Amino acid sequence: MKKYLFGLIATIIPVLSFAAEKGIDQKIDEAFGAGTGWFVQGIFAEIPVMEGVSIPWVLIVLVVGALFFTIYFRVINITGFKTAINIVRGKYDEIESGGDDHVEVSDTVHTVDGDNPDTIRVEGDADHHGEVSHFQALTAALSATVGLGNIAGVAVAISIGGPGATFWMIVAGLIGMASKFTECTLGVRYREIDENGRVYGGPMYYLSKGLKERGLLKVGRVLAIVFAIMCIGGSFGGGNMFQSNQAFAMLESYSQSDIKNESNLKDLEGSTVIYSYFEKDSLFTIKSVNKKDITTLNAKGKKEKITKETFLADSIMINGEKVTEEMLTDELNGQSFDYYKPATYTGEVQSIKDDVVTLYDGSEKMEVDKASFLGNAKKSPLDGVGWIFGIVMAILVGIVIIGGIKKIAKVTDKIVPFMVAIYVISALVILGMNFSQIPSAFGEIFGGAFTGYGIAGGMFGVLIQGFRRAAFSNEAGIGSASIAHSAVKTKYAASEGLVALLEPFIDTVLVCTMTALVLIISNGDQGLFEYGVQVTQGVEVTSAAFESNISWFPIVLTIAVVLFAFSTMISWSYYGYQAWTYLFGRGKMTEYTYKFIFCVFVVIGAAAQLQSVIDFSDAMIFAMLVPNMIGLFFLAPRVREELAKFKAAIKKA
């Protein structure tokens, strides 16, 4: 394996050198995208089900799998919920400190004074059957899933699917609890412990060893290797570069200053700016005008009420003339107008020639006339120093991940409850301020879930958006969380599986729903976004929704995004490291090589715009579900055995 390791390092070093040069990152990104686009498109390929509605095949696999495990384990999502809470509370700690234990002998461990060191730990001290507590394992896994998806992703889902998408998001989160239970139980059952007490677990181990028990040795090995490769790629991109990139982008956007003078244009080439403009949305007809609001009909014939304040704040054009307050009379009844909604474009200034400024956001270019650019563009004083932010983050990440899962768990069990509490409390404050609107918000959620309110595909289109957000947020069925949960101190594998089922509940049912309610209430007149039209900057929409109720919330959101990014990176570093050791061995050199490369990618993520690299690694994360789901179906009976064993232990107590 050493030759593969050195080959990988030799490949990465030149890439890192090129990426450090100004402008080279774009060329790398374009070349990488051209070579890997087929893989990304394949993983996220959609199957058309009706006109205007398609389903990503990965979503079908995740949802079908979740439904299967929900039925197979007799709705463990609900029946096991109370037990899961009690386990986290420590009610069954005494049970777990005694009795039989399933401890796998590590392939790399032999004996200590003629005895198996794993057995020594079992026989001697129950506290050494794992490395972290149930609560720490839960927060370590949660830190990898609770993040930008809960902030930005929910806004995207609701903008496309309407309020009803929230209902199906909750349903998908609930059934996803069964998938988490299954994979995390297997993670503990087939884990390995080395002579130093370090735990190694996850799909790599239950695929190779579990399928070997079923007479599928070669199949298990192949699936384990495929999973490990995908996990490593995902840890560098979606679990690392994307996080540091978005954290720095959030800091940049919060510190933007206007570009008003032409003299400021001289040194802008190569700088990242945010350009604000109005984008033509659709043609509306005014039905009536009264003292407080205006009733309009959109192109689909849907009636809406818009307050005069909102109407004037937006860019409304009638016959090429912007509507003013003086024009808001009954004479406008029956008039058609173009509605221009506010939009932003974040990109690098590629060139300034004549009176045209060319911007590039990594996927498409935008040309803006100089006069419009001035006064509507903003630049952060932090622009160009992403690498400094990246170095700071890399140092902080390095300090934590060098200590392994114990250090990671000690950090996440403090950060995760703190950041989730801040976010949820902010949402609850807003919901409290708008308490009277909560019933109608839930009415929109339930009504929209079964009617679609004119959304493309109707009820089916709304269902897909809700399921997509939930599946892509909590990663139930991907297998990643089982790596963190396998390090828990326990003698009963099913006990940690039960704890793990709380993860989709917290991530999707709680946090995502809170976000959705704030968005629906704040978007009562659809002033933030129009249902059925996808928003491009979900985090900005969510920030605007919170800010409309709490003026200082963008500060909180900026802090939350940085903390979410940091916690996600340290957890994904552990996932990638476990996969790395499975392929390349468990020596110190192997460990520090991976962690060094991981920290380097933190810097690159903050400094460069490598969207194609991140897209590829995201695809690798969801490609993990293929080998994982195959293993889960074959090994479900083993999970049932572990559940029965734990239930029997509870009854005896």
Structure tokens that stand for 406 in this block: 């114990």
Helix 242-254 to helix 386-401 angle (10° resolution) is: 130
Whole-angstrom distance, CA of residue 372 vs CA of residue 377: 9
pLDDT of 101: 46
pLDDT of 637: 93
Residue 286 reports pLDDT greater than 60: yes
- Delimit the domains of the chain by residue range: 52-254+389-652, 259-379
pLDDT of 203: 93
Instruction: Considering only residues 51 and 110, tell me which one the structure prediction assigns the higher pLDDT.
Output: 51
pLDDT of 564: 80
Helix, strand or coil, per DSSP, at residue 345: strand
Q: Quick one: fold of 52-254+389-652?
A: Amino acid/polyamine transporter I (1.20.1740)
Q: Measuring CA to CA, which residue among 564, 568, 603 is closest to residue 250?
A: 564
Report CA torsion sign: 214, 216, 219, 224. Answer: positive
Q: Stretch 238-247: mean pLDDT, rounded?
A: 80
Structure tokens that stand for 335 in this block: 């008039």
Instruction: Considering only residues 387 and 45, tell me which one the structure prediction assigns the higher pLDDT.
Output: 45
User: What is the chain's Cα-based Rg?
Assistant: 26
DSSP-assigned letter for residue 531: T
Of the pLDDT bands very low, low, confident and very high (cuts 50, 70, 90), residue 580 is very high
Q: Stretch 488-497: mean pLDDT, rounded?
A: 86
Q: Are 249 and 346 in contact (CB under 8 A)?
A: yes
Whole-angstrom distance, CA of residue 279 vs CA of residue 320: 14
Q: Stretch 352-372: mean pLDDT, rounded?
A: 75
Which one-letter amino acid corresponds to residue 650? I
User: Model pTM?
Assistant: 0.75
pLDDT of 120: 32
Q: Stretch 403-408: mean pLDDT, rounded?
A: 65
Range scoring the smallest mean pLDDT among 198-202, 244-248, 311-315? 311-315
Helix (H) or strand (E) holding 254: helix 242-254
Of the pLDDT bands very low, low, confident and very high (cuts 50, 70, 90), residue 258 is low
Q: Residue 587 CA to chain centroid, in angstroms? A: 31
pLDDT of 405: 63
Residue 20 reports pLDDT greater than 90: no
Per DSSP, helices labelled H in 486-587 are 493-500, 502-504, 513-522, 538-547, 553-584
Of the pLDDT bands very low, low, confident and very high (cuts 50, 70, 90), residue 489 is confident
Q: Stretch 103-117: mean pLDDT, rounded?
A: 38
Helix, strand or coil, per DSSP, at residue 306: strand
Residue 633 reports pLDDT greater than 50: yes
Q: Stretch 11-25: mean pLDDT, rounded?
A: 49
Q: How do residues 116-149 score in pLDDT, each as one tens digit?
A: 333 333 333 434 466 666 776 676 666 656 666 6
DSSP-assigned letter for residue 528: S
Q: Stretch 71-87: mean pLDDT, rounded?
A: 90
Query: CA dihedral defined by 513, 516, 517, 520, rounded to 10 degrees?
Result: -160
Residue 457 reports pLDDT greater than 80: no
pLDDT of 51: 65
pLDDT of 113: 34
Of the pLDDT bands very low, low, confident and very high (cuts 50, 70, 90), residue 259 is low
Whole-angstrom distance, CA of residue 647 vs CA of residue 650: 5
Residue 71 reports pLDDT greater than 90: yes
Instruction: Considering only residues 6 and 405, tell me which one the structure prediction assigns the higher pLDDT.
Output: 405
Instruction: Considering only residues 156 and 11, tell me which one the structure prediction assigns the higher pLDDT.
Output: 156
